[in-house]
Amino acid sequence: MATQKLRTVCNRDCPDACGLIATVVDGRLERLGGDPDHPVTRGFLCSRTAQFPARQNSPDRLTTPLLRDGSGFRAIPWKEALAFAAERLLAIRAESGPAAILHYRSGGSLGLVKSVVDLFFELLGPVTVKRGDVCSGAGDAAQEADFGDEESHDLFDLGNSKGILLWGKNPFVSSVHLLPLLRAAKARGARLVLIDPVRHRTATLADAYLAPRPGGDLALALGVAALLFETGRVVPGAASFCEGFDAFRSLALSKAPAGWAEEAGVAPDSLELLALTLCDRPCNIQVGWGMARRSNGSAIVRALDALGALTGNLGIPGGGVSYYFKRRGAFDTSFLASAPPRTLSEPLLGKQILEAEKPPVRAVWITAGNPVAMLPDSSTVARALETRELVVVVDSFLTDTARRAHLVLPTTTLVEDDDLLGAYGHHWLGASVPVVAPPPEVKGDLEIVQLLAAEIDRRTGACTGDGIAGKISGTAREWKQRLLRRVEPLGVSVERLEKEAVRNPLAGDVLFEGAVFPTPTGRMRLLSAVPPPPEDEPAFPLWLFSNSTEKAQCSQWAGPAPVVLEATCHPDAAPGLADGAEVLLESEIATLRVRLKLDPLQRRDLVLVPKGGHFDAGACANALVKARLTDAGEGAAYLDCRVRIRPT
């Protein structure tokens, strides 16, 4: 029996892009562990990825192309699958133009070589693609508006921080490799403050915990700003490096600090705690991604950026407002140059597919995504796909989305993938390399579009080299080398990344040193106005939080997905109902059967369910969530969903 220990990198939608050590026995994945030599992974993994071997070896894994046959699917050979896809795509393009084809690529894999799939669809059309970002769009827009760029200090710069505000961030679930740095900071005397309406395990790590009302983060941040102005604690010179200083001051002082505290649902002395922590420089603000998933999400992040500026925590070691690391920043994707003829808003995707005209969307190709389960208003997304002439899904499992396809193409998993990775939780780069061979009829995303391009060229009579196939030719390794052109002269090669994680040489340690920003004026731009609050929904008194869990990676569960979702709330939010009872959780657009978990430590105005789930099993939180946009960046306002609980 041959046992190997092989190195690769995780490509799942997670900030850490962990270095992995795979234990492979006779060609079968038996175990995944953390790479002890990776400076961030440090030898341990989240429980989701540690349990991935069960998913890798699952009997439910797709191992051959599937073609819809009546109400079900039948297995077909690749030759037939490619011929079917090419014939239908070319017919639709000829009849309605390339904009009648939608390519939707999401974050089921964050590998950069998958950009070649985008290139294929540019050359085929260019086709319609999505715009916006359901996960981070509002926060991305906020920091780009404020700073002219979106980046973070080096992760290990937290070693210089005297205070750390974890604003809506739960590292025990969403950033596990941040935990050693937080514990080290606390051990040397740094103050950790958690701000989150949901009480979770991170509260046990923090020195102080604040639970504002859901959506009260903007009022809380403006209240702190008002207190800083009233007490003369704004750093000297802030007006010189901040555009819109007077307008922001007027906004903050439009209410007394106590008024803002009341609106935020916290005690007035909470503002003083935050002001003291921020003013005891350097202080870092770690912004959770949930902050941006509200109708005022961009304004919330901009208000947090403003607190960093007013207290002198920008441009200094140990400071900064960290929302996102530029995971694509090291890579050369200049081959993606064409502008699409049409875009559809990702948060409104189902509705906009149904309403698209001139031309209508007739075909949808889905790469690295499960939009039925993961986008808001799952029912409308499902209906949109069910009513298209052609839906092709590339996946490893028969997801809620794949079940609505006409053609399902089996692709490689994270341990079979050949790609490059950046991270959105740190600055280290890595190379994923196959540690096990895929099943014989399973192909990677790159190979799939290369084979499809060859079939299309054959049907259109394109000459070798002049067609699509010639323009996307090349092995995964050759595309890796092309993607590294910007940093290869700085010592970052494919060969080196296959041996070790390498820090992005284009990323600095501290952002905006000297309070100079990459804006047209060189000054930071402050928030000057706020959007109106979401409309009240008195019939639905509870705020729904559909949060990440330790058991699931988006819609990919480490074990069996629940048939009935667990809904956690304060006993007063479900009066007269017992712990463990099955009840109905209702929003304005849908109803789910859930099992209650009563927790007296939670706020009385919220209910917490797992993110993701399975739509067809009646256990998908996004079935409850209306499709609504954030105030900027075309993000999804997932956390503005209001619900009620009632007995079955």
The verdict on 317 and 403 lying in the same domain is no
pLDDT in tens, 554-606: 777 766 778 899 999 999 999 999 999 999 999 999 999 999 999 999 999 99
Would you tell me how many other CB atoms lie within 10 Å of the CB of residue 568? Answer: 22
CATH number for the domain harbouring residue 17: 3.30.200.210
Instruction: Among 443, 469, 486, give the residue marking a domain's end.
Output: 486
Distance CA 436, CA 25 (A): 10
The verdict on 464 and 399 lying in the same domain is yes
pLDDT in tens, 501-551: 999 999 999 999 999 999 999 999 999 999 998 888 999 999 999 998 888
The verdict on 473 and 611 lying in the same domain is no
The verdict on 223 and 156 lying in the same domain is yes
Type of residue found at 358: K
The verdict on 442 and 407 lying in the same domain is yes
Give the C-alpha distances (Å, rounded to integers) separating 602 from 213, 362, 536.
11, 46, 21
The verdict on 204 and 283 lying in the same domain is yes
Q: Which residues of 335-350 are buried (b: 16+ CB within 10 A; e: fewer)?
A: beeeebebbbbbbbbb
Domain of 50? Answer: 3-56
Distance CA 34, CA 8 (A): 10
Q: Tell me how many domains the chain contains.
A: 4
Distance CA 103, CA 41 (A): 33
- Name 477's Cβ contacts closer than 8 Å, sequence gap at least 6: 418, 494
The verdict on 551 and 581 lying in the same domain is yes
The verdict on 311 and 366 lying in the same domain is no
The pLDDT assigned to 554 comes to 78
The verdict on 257 and 392 lying in the same domain is no
205 belongs to a structural domain:
yes
Cβ–Cβ < 8 Å for 100, 92 = yes
Distance CA 129, CA 115 (A): 13
Binned at pLDDT 50, 70 and 90, residue 463 comes out as: confident
Q: Is 209 in a helix, a strand, or coil?
A: strand
CATH number for the domain harbouring residue 556: 2.40.40.20
507 belongs to a structural domain:
no
- The pLDDT of 346-373, averaged and rounded, is 98
pLDDT in tens, 383-413: 999 999 999 999 999 999 999 999 999 999 9
The verdict on 476 and 551 lying in the same domain is no
339 belongs to a structural domain:
no
605 belongs to a structural domain:
yes
Among candidate residues 320, 309, 324, 325, the one with its CA nearest the CA of residue 284? 320
Whether 497 shows a pLDDT value over 80: the answer reads: yes
Residue indicated by tokens 């959105």: 424
564 belongs to a structural domain:
yes
Averaged confidence pLDDT in the chain: 96
Q: In degrees, to the nearest 5, what angle opens at C-alpha 460 toward C-alphas 456 and 476?
A: 30
20 belongs to a structural domain:
yes
Instruction: Among 56, 77, 101, give the residue marking a domain's end.
Output: 56
The verdict on 76 and 192 lying in the same domain is no
The pLDDT assigned to 86 comes to 98
Residues 584/587/590/594 CA torsion (nearest 10 deg): -30
Instruction: Among 56, 75, 90, give the residue marking a domain's end.
Output: 56
DSSP state string for 309-373: HHTT-SSSTT--EES---TTTTS--TT--PPPS-EEEGGGHHHHHHH--SS---EEEEES--HHH
Distance CA 188, CA 164 (A): 13
CATH number for the domain harbouring residue 473: 3.40.50.740
Distance CA 62, CA 477 (A): 25
Burial of 470 (0-12, 13-18, 19+ CB in 10 A): middle
505 belongs to a structural domain:
no
CA 646 to chain centroid, in Å, comes to 32
328 belongs to a structural domain:
no
- Name 388's Cβ contacts closer than 8 Å, sequence gap at least 6: 353, 361, 362, 363, 364
Give percent of the chain above pLDDT 90: 94
The verdict on 76 and 207 lying in the same domain is no
pTM equals 0.97
